[in-house]
Amino acid sequence: MLRMSRSAVIILNWNSLEVTLECVAMVKAWALPFLDVIIVDNASSTPQREQLAAMEASDVTVLLNDANLGYAGGNNRGIRYACEHGYNTILLLNSDAEIQKESVLILYDAIARFPEAGVVGPLIYDENYEVLQNAGGLDIAFHDITHLKSPRHTLEPYVVDYVSGTVFLARAEMFQCYGLLDEDYFFSGEIADFCYRCKSNSMIHPGARASHNTRHSGRYRATLYTYYTVRNRYLYIRKNMSARKWNCYALWWNTHARHALTALRSGGWAEAGMVMRGVLDGMRNKIGAIG
């Protein structure tokens, strides 16, 4: 049974060691013998890297990057390691996510029972499990708000355009067949792009629930998060929507102009600047870190 084969849990750290260690403790508390933990550090401060390196003596694998490779590049380091070491499934887990053992087992059971499921994810709630934030993703070329706000089915897994990278369980063969996460995106859009390449193999199981606490990343949401979300839509369109790219561009020029004006009217100069910079860099095909 696939659920009982070897699985790697990849947790990406970037200057958030306390949160990462809490996430590792959560995974270990599941006490699932088929799971191994891989921490990938994206060039955090020296004290954090030293503490992580010391964990190699425990049952945790630690991979230290010499530079911040972003979400895509950081996770790719762990994915490569997992594929090279014979893991059958790979669970990408945000350090600020929470998911209970019962929901984890539901995901592994789903990927075992449904051979067409290459990627499976849970419903994602706010930190108090009160507000459903994400019931699956819609194609980012055509939708501004891409998170489904209600599940399409109540009991069985259903197909979506993409599964959130917050909790993302995939067969290792999906990466071997369709390639790794595209590092041109650096942050945001790479998961939607990967699932697009996987076609109709991405599913949400409504019986599994997770929470995402964004307070640790909240200070970046009006600036860096905005920039990458805006810029990377143009990268995604150029890569995947060549026959319709000009229609898509026109849609997003209008959407992003309204976004910038709304931000300006409320005094959000930094946010508006990041929107316009994202549009310009997206059209110029600037890739990687913001620089």
Mean pLDDT for the chain? Answer: 94
Give yes or no for a contact between 126 and 133, defined as CB atoms under 8 angstroms apart: yes
10 Å Cβ neighbour count for 150?
10
Q: Return the pLDDT at 199.
A: 85
DSSP per-residue codes, 230-274: HHHHHHHHHHH-GGGHHHHHHHHHHHHHHHHHHHHHTT-HHHHHH
User: CA torsion, points 134, 139, 141, 143, in degrees to nearest 10?
Assistant: -50
Cα 11 to Cα 19: distance, rounded to the nearest angstrom: 11
Strands 132-134 and 89-93: unpaired
Cα 230 to Cα 219: distance, rounded to the nearest angstrom: 17
DSSP per-residue codes, 83-94: HHTT-SEEEEE-
Cα 11 to Cα 25: distance, rounded to the nearest angstrom: 12
10 Å Cβ neighbour count for 290?
15
DSSP 8-state class, residue 12? E
Q: Return the pLDDT at 1.
A: 44
Q: Which amino acid appears at position 17 of this protein?
A: L
Which residues in the chain belong to E strands, given as ranges? 7-13, 35-42, 60-65, 89-93, 97-99, 119-125, 132-134, 158-159, 167-171, 202-212
DSSP 8-state class, residue 126? -
Tokens representing 132 are 């459903």
Q: Return the pLDDT at 154.
A: 84
3-state secondary structure of 39: strand
DSSP 8-state class, residue 160? -
Cα-based angle 209, 192, 134 (whole degrees, multiple of 5): 30
**For 42-55, b where at least 16 C-beta lie within 10 A, e where not — what string?**
bbbeeebbebbeee
- What residue spans define the domains of the chain? 2-216, 218-283
10 Å Cβ neighbour count for 26?
18
Q: Return the pLDDT at 56.
A: 76
Closest CA to 204 of 287, 110, 122, 82: 122
- What tens-digit pLDDT sequence spans the chain (291 residues)? 455 589 999 999 999 999 999 999 999 999 999 999 999 999 999 999 999 998 876 789 999 999 999 999 999 999 999 999 999 999 999 999 999 999 999 999 999 999 999 999 999 999 999 999 999 999 999 999 999 999 998 889 999 999 999 999 999 999 999 999 999 999 999 999 999 999 889 999 999 999 999 776 555 566 899 999 999 999 999 999 999 999 999 999 999 999 999 999 999 999 999 999 999 999 999 999 997
Q: Return the pLDDT at 112.
A: 93
Closest CA to 190 of 12, 5, 9: 12
Cα 161 to Cα 159: distance, rounded to the nearest angstrom: 7
CATH class of this structure's domain 2-216:
alpha beta
Q: Which residues contact 153 (CB under 8 A, 6 or more apart)?
A: 206
